[in-house]
Amino acid sequence: MRVDLALQGGGAHGAFTWGVLDRLLEEPKLQLDGISGTSAGAMNAAVLVDGYAKGGAEGARRALEAFWRRVSRASQFSPFRRGPLDVLFGRWTLDYSPTFLTMDMVARLFSPYDLNPGGTNPLRTILAESIDFAHLAEGPIKLFVTATNVRTGRGRVFRNTDLTIDALLASACLPNMFQAIEIDGDAYWDGGYAGNPTITPLVRECESSDTILVQINPIERPGTPRSARNILSRLNEVSFNSVLLKELKMIALLRQMVCLGDDESARWASMRIHRISSDVLLELGYSSKLNGEWAFLTMLRDQGRHAAEGFLEAHRADLGRRSTLDLDTLLEGV
């Protein structure tokens, strides 16, 4: 069974996606056709494809674990650490970390060009150690990584043959934390502003008609945020989900049309969409996206594996037959 994957970004929360991928790679009947990823989703995707090219599914699983171990080791030198009470009560938030609170305030007054004039990014070394980009160009799985062009505001999709460390860093470049990444004379920011992730290339360039969305940015969140940090966090979630929702709405609309018009419209309308997510992610705030502790990452990995297992138990037989994500609800009120 050929499937595509759509992987969202979300900093350290991307370890949840690691767990989902780890479980899906154990399924012998699943064959990955293409993967679209943004930010942490793009890094998971690139590491998977590189590992798969070297050693098949097991090679991909080993590569993903090695990547996240490197992330965790690098975070040991990070000033963003949980406070003693958070450790004592098992809270993963950094909301009470003096360093995080200070940097959160400073980031509202100064840009990365003021605070980090050299443009240092620890992910550059991690990616260089984790990925052989020659394998991406030759890999059997199609890769689509989205970054946002600062000048035009439009997304650019990087594919296997033009993927570089800079392209992956651009896809994960939050403008209040890192300097924009320059590629071919243009500056790029996080791909989440233009597609988190982008579905279009999966429809147009892949043979599979089943796309599994691994969602780590909640579309719905109960209650109204009242603190400045929670308001900003929810604004980011809404912004980073907006383009994805538009693409999913387009699929839903095309399904309801009597006349599909042309082959591409028919292709969009025939897509079967599935989703893997977890309520655990609803309980985690923005600050925990910067928490690289191994215990936190492995907790998220285990939650990802659990969510993937639940999805397979409930919907394994639906793959190749029907969508399991109700897209019609997205049209309510439209």
Rounded CA-CA distance 288/125 in Å is 22
- Give me the helix-helix angle, 40-75 and 14-24, nearest 10°: 110
166 is known as an active-site residue: no
Kindly name the residue from 22, 50, 95, 190 that is annotated as catalytic: 190
| DSSP state string for 125-145 | HHHHHH--HHHHHH-SSEEEE
Kindly name the residue from 36, 39, 75, 323 that is annotated as catalytic: 39
Sign of the C-alpha dihedral computed for residues 79, 85, 87 and 90 taken in this order: negative
| DSSP state string for 181-206 | EEETTEEEEEGGGT-TT--HHHHHH-
Residues 6+ apart with CB under 8 A from 201: 34, 36, 142, 144, 157, 159
Bridge partners, 156 (sequence order):
147
Q: Closest Cα to residue 67, out of 35, 32, 22, 31?
A: 22
190 is known as an active-site residue: yes
- Residues carrying an active site annotation: 39, 190
